[in-house]
Amino acid sequence: MKVSIIVPVYNVEKYLDRCLNSLVHQTLKEIEILVVNDGTKDNSQEIIDKYVKMDQRVIPFKKKNGGLSDARNYALPHVRGEYIAFVDSDDYVEETMYEKMYQEAIQGKYDMVECDFIWEYPDRQVIDHSNVEDNYFTDIRVPAWNKLYKTELVKEKKIRFPKGLHYEDIVFCYELLPWTENVGYVKEPLYHYIQRDDSIANTQDVKVRELYDILKIVFDYYKKHHLLEKYEAEIEYVFIRYIFGRSFYRISSLEDKKLRKQYLDEGYHLLNETFPHWKKNHFLKTKKGIRNFYYRHMNRSLYYLSAKLFHTFGKLILRIPKSWR
């Protein structure tokens, strides 16, 4: 078994058939597809049953609803492949995805391999290319679903997703990275990331502040495993990037003014309390681009002014080409 693909399922009957069809038709045949019914309330189980009968490589599991992280964690002890992959059940993949990524992993003896992916909107598609320059800690895209992970490494280090929190991929990625000796990259968009208005990623609600809990988990992990001395600058930059970056945009989009200010205050305080000298960060000083220029000149006044601008004009600002940011 070369690749074990974990697919959590919860109320996705509209998308599940397309997802599983893209997996059973992979050109890499030595795979297993672990489908976890996470207490779905729709007809998704009927679709799962259809694919179980169709292909013996589809292995079904049922459990009480516990969320995306819990469903992924549930399947991890059951994997038998050399590498692990994750697919969200409302997404789908190119039929050559795992053959190309597995070949890259084997040829380069990589612990992790990532590929480009496609943001698929109802009216357009946008290819997301890796922006890694020379440091995966500071530049890697954290989604779990555009990667292969060496099974032996994940099991040895007991890497898991944090249950009950959003932004769970950040924890999985950054807890695995310090133990990863090398990372491969397939320069092709092989994963289709479906953008739904009702998806977790696109919901602007009070859960956006859970990013702070996630960052604390990462920091505590590095502290517990005595990794901060080696990776402090990298983790500091990760804090800067997330607190001033995309999650900042989401918090700025909250309609509740009081709640918006509370979360903004919490984020600014978290960064300055955890890394009081963050303005001296090596990566902050050396990285190029408008985004990093913005980070370098950030102060309390600009932080709250930016929040007001993003609240009013956020959708227009986010349409600025990524290469400019």
Model pLDDT, residue 246: 76
144 and 265 part of one domain: no
**DSSP string of 99-137, one letter each residue:** HHHHHHHHHHT-SEEEEEEEEE-SS-EEEE-----S-HH
Same-domain pairing of 111 and 28: yes
Residue 209: Cβ within 10 Å count: 19
Asked whether the predicted pLDDT for residue 202 surpasses 50, the reply is: no
The residue type found at 44 is: S
Q: How many residues can be counted in the chain?
A: 325
pLDDT bracket for residue 9 (50, 70, 90): very high
Query: Are 73 and 16 within one domain?
Result: yes
Q: Which residues of 160-196 are buried (b: 16+ CB within 10 A; e: fewer)?
A: bbbeebbbbbbbbbbbbbbebeebbbbebbbbbbbeb
Q: Are residues 151 and 10 in the same domain?
A: yes
pLDDT at 201 over 60: no
The CA-CA-CA angle for residues 277, 281, 283, to 5°, reads 165
Tokens of 113: 């391999």
Is residue 237 domain-shared with residue 304, that is, in the same domain?
Answer: yes
Residue 203 has pLDDT above 60, yes or no: no
Whether pLDDT at 325 is above 50: no
Comparing 171-185, 237-251, 258-272, which segment has the lowest mean pLDDT?
A: 237-251
Average pLDDT, integer, range 85-95: 98
Q: Which domain holds residue 297?
A: 204-324
Which of 135, 168, 201 is at the close of a domain? Answer: 201
pLDDT tier at 205, thresholds 50, 70, 90:
low
| Number of domains within the chain | 2
Is residue 173's pLDDT more than 80?
Answer: yes
Look over the chain and give the mean of its residue pLDDT values, rounded to a whole number: 92
Say yes or no: 112 and 32 in one domain.
Answer: yes
Q: Are residues 212 and 176 in the same domain?
A: no
pLDDT for position 130: 85
Whether residue 160 sits in one domain with residue 146: yes
> CATH code at 40?
3.90.550.10
Q: Tell me the residue type at 280.
A: K
At which of 201, 224, 256 does a domain end? 201
Question: Looking at the structure, do residues 250 and 195 belong to the same domain, yes or no?
Answer: no
**Token pair in block for residue 85:** 């992959």
Residues 189 and 239 occupy one common structural domain: no
Band (253; pLDDT cuts 50, 70, 90): confident
Residue 251 has pLDDT above 80, yes or no: yes
1/3 Cα distance (integer angstroms): 6
Q: Which two tokens stand for residue 183?
A: 């990372």
Which helix or strand (DSSP H or E) is residue 152 part of?
helix 151-156
pLDDT in tens, 134-170: 678 888 999 999 999 999 999 999 999 999 999 999 9
Write the CB contacts of 298 (distance below 8 Å, at least 6 apart in sequence): 244
Asked if residue 160 lies in contact with residue 76, where contact means CB atoms within 8 angstroms, the answer is yes
Contact 92, 25 (CB under 8 A): no
Where helices occur in 122-209 by DSSP H, the ranges are 136-139, 151-156, 168-176
Instruction: Please check the confidence at residue 232 and state whether its pLDDT lies above 60.
Output: yes
Of residues 314 and 203, the one with the higher pLDDT is 314
Mean pLDDT of 213-217: 97
Contact 298, 307 (CB under 8 A): no
pTM given for the model: 0.92
Cα dihedral 291/173/144/42 (nearest 10): -110
Mean pLDDT of 183-190: 96
257 and 310 share a domain? yes
Q: Which residue has the higher pLDDT, 206 or 22?
A: 22
